[in-house]
């Protein structure tokens, strides 16, 4: 397996893994997610997102050139505030591995490479969000020393009351 950067021109190759990741979130939190977005919309969205400055994607690629998993992260400069110092943060937005290839080190390889790349880009903080149901992500992040520091809570209006 090799870990390589992946750009907007290869967004379509990430769509099946994104659909699997999204389906997991829809199954556990249907009120937060749109069920079954089209492949075309996902591809277009990924192309646009991966073209943005500061957004970086890595793919784990098999010897047969199949995408085994991917990770998308953003490097952002956060200015100093009176309540905290300035920081350069690498924020992991997505990480997913093909279901048949989980638990063989693909996620760890992606995280290892992301951390190396982020440090080379000057990051001094690595952050991630993950849903409370996602024990696998929580364990992977703990393995890399990422521990929860904030709990986010939300209320949502019923769909019929949304304007």
Local structure of residue 84 (DSSP, 8 states): B
Local structure of residue 154 (DSSP, 8 states): -
Please give the chain's pLDDT, 163 residues, in tens.
999 999 999 999 999 999 999 999 989 998 889 898 999 999 999 999 999 999 999 999 999 999 999 999 999 999 999 999 999 999 999 999 999 999 999 999 999 999 999 999 999 999 999 999 999 999 999 999 999 999 889 998 987 655 5
**Whole-angstrom distance between the N-terminal and C-terminal Cα of the chain?**
47
pTM for the complete prediction? 0.92
């Amino acid at each position: 397996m090799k870990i390589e950067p992946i750009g907007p021109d290869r967004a379509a190759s990430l769509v099946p893994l994104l659909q699997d990741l999204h389906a997991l979130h829809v199954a556990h939190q249907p009120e937060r997610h749109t069920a079954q977005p089209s492949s075309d919309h996902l591809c277009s969205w990924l192309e646009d997102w991966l073209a943005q400055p500061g957004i970086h994607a890595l793919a784990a690629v098999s010897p047969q050139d199949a995408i085994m998993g991917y990770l998308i992260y953003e490097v952002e400069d956060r200015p100093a505030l009176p309540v905290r110092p300035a920081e350069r943060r690498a924020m992991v937005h997505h990480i997913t591995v093909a279901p048949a290839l989980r638990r063989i080190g693909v996620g760890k390889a992606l995280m290892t490479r992301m951390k190396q790349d982020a440090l080379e880009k000057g990051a001094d903080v690595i952050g991630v969000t993950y849903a409370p149901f996602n024990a696998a992500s929580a364990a992977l992040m703990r393995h890399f020393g990422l521990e929860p520091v904030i709990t986010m809570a939300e209320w949502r209006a019923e769909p019929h009351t949304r304007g």
